[in-house]
């Protein structure tokens, strides 16, 4: 039902010097949840390139969900959150807060992730960590609420309230 674009931010991956296992894992997880991957790219850790890809996936390809992996740490080349801020219209703070909170249950280093999430048009953009382990833990944790968020964003559902028991 939902279409997905995957963007891996990796200088070495873009040069073919490293295999992109995080992006492939994202692809496996979203397909297992019934999503369709329409775009998948590996680009250098470059703010302008990342922003352009996100805009292309949202504005031209009209993808429902754009997932990035990598570039969310403290390295000077880690600019994925900044590129995301350049393109989103509204932040979805709870998603990135949930990812960090869940990660910190596993390791205190989870607090070092700078990933963000937000909306551009009819697309939800979420920054995931770069390691396959963290990608799996994060993505599996957020898939159910993200599905509901996409349903609301795309007008497929209008109710967020749970019935009173």
The domains located in the chain, with CATH, are 3-153 (3.40.980.10)
- pLDDT of res. 161: 63
Residue 132 φ then ψ, to 5°: -55, -40
Distances (CA, A) of 29 to 35, 47, 51: 9, 26, 24
Instruction: Write down the pTM of the prediction.
Output: 0.95
Tokens representing residue 59 in the block: 């504005």
Ordered per-residue pLDDT tens for the chain, 165 residues: 899 999 999 999 999 999 999 999 999 999 999 999 999 999 999 999 999 999 999 999 999 999 999 999 999 999 999 999 999 999 999 999 999 999 999 999 999 999 999 999 999 999 999 999 999 999 999 999 999 999 999 999 877 666 667
Q: Please tell me the distance from the alpha carbon of residue 154 to that of residue 165, in angstroms, as a whole number.
A: 28
**Would you tell me how many other CB atoms lie within 10 Å of the CB of residue 50?**
27
Q: Per DSSP, which regions of the chain are E strands?
A: 3-9, 36-43, 65-69, 90-91, 117-120, 123-128
Q: Please tell me the distance from the alpha carbon of residue 43 to that of residue 59, in angstroms, as a whole number.
A: 19
Q: Please tell me the distance from the alpha carbon of residue 4 to that of residue 26, in angstroms, as a whole number.
A: 10
Q: Please tell me the distance from the alpha carbon of residue 58 to that of residue 70, in angstroms, as a whole number.
A: 19
């Amino acid at each position: 039902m939902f279409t997905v674009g995957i963007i891996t931010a990796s200088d070495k991956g873009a040069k073919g010097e490293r295999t992109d296992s995080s992006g492939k894992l994202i692809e496996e997880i979203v397909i297992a949840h019934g999503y369709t991957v329409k775009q998948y790219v590996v680009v250098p850790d470059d703010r302008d390139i990342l922003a352009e890809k996100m805009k292309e996936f949202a504005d031209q390809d009209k993808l429902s969900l754009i997932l990035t992996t990598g570039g969310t740490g403290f390295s000077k080349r880690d600019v994925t959150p900044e590129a995301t801020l350049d393109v989103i219209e509204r932040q979805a703070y709870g998603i990135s807060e949930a990812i960090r909170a869940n990660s910190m249950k596993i390791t205190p280093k989870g607090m070092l992730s700078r990933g963000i999430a937000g909306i551009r048009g009819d697309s939800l953009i979420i920054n995931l960590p770069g390691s396959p382990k963290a990608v799996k833990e994060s993505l599996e944790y957020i898939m159910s609420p993200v599905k509901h968020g996409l349903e609301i964003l795309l007008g497929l559902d209008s109710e967020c309230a749970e019935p009173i028991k």
